[in-house]
Structure 1
């Protein structure tokens, strides 16, 4: 019985985030960690929550925070917002976020078969060049 318990606990804990994925529409929603949303229009507030404990075991704080951000971005995309900002620290797996429309991240969808246009400024800064990831 004890061996079964020791095997099942890690399996249960590892499966906690399988269903939390970033939606396609939320890929264009940025997170304003610096809180700079002064030139943005507020769309509303979103409260998201995940399990922060599984039985007597606390989940990894970084994983919980990551899942809360993903869920907030998903909800903001549904509201038509393009930016989210945390309005406080997570508490017991729950966190409140502000959803904003800033307009500075508007991305036109690329047509099938055509690559997106290059960014306006392609000059490498500091000797490093940034390359967008493929979908």
Structure 2
């Protein structure tokens, strides 16, 4: 019974948390947190959320951060941005990103 429960829990946590990068998101670069980038126009803010816990199971913080970044890259297209920059560390599965339209690299 325990083995069945563990298998179901593992299947649930891996099936619902993987975030694929979309074609438009592949062209979006991610800057480190900090000062506003030069030669860029602000396009707004993107707020993204993923599950950081499944029941009592605390997800890997690096995996959560990677998924948040991927979601922000995917959303950048909707505000006509080609660059995102975190505005702080992830908290409780949520993170805010500044969206920028920057000159070609």
The unaligned stretches of length 5 or more in structure 1 are 106-135
Displacement of 1:23 in angstroms is 1.2
Which stretches in structure 2 are left out of the alignment for 5+ residues? none
TM-score where L is the length of structure 2: 0.90
1:65 and 2:41 correspond: no
Provide the residue aligned with 2:92 in structure 1. 92
Q: Indicate the SS of the match to 1:22.
A: coil
Name the residue aligned to 2:3: 3
More strand by share: 2
2:40 corresponds in structure 1 to 40
Is the 1:82–1:103 Cα contact (8 Å) retained in structure 2? no
User: Aligned-pair RMSD on alpha carbons?
Assistant: 1.4
**Mapping 1:54-133, distance limit 5 Å:** 54-105=54-105
Structure possessing the higher relative contact order (Cα contacts under 8 Å, 6 or more residues apart)? 2
Q: Give the number of aligned pairs.
A: 104
Rounded to whole Å, the distance in 2 between the matches of 1:34 and 1:87 is 6
Task: Determine which structure has more spread, i.e. the larger CA radius of gyration.
Answer: 1
Mapping of residues 13-52 of structure 1, within 5 Å:
13-18=13-18, 20-33=19-32, 35=34, 37-52=37-52
TM-score, structure 1 normalization: 0.71
Q: Which runs of 4+ in 1 moved over 3 A?
A: none
- 1:98 partner SS: strand
* Greater fraction helix: 2
Query: After alignment, is 73-82 or 88-97 more displaced?
Result: 73-82
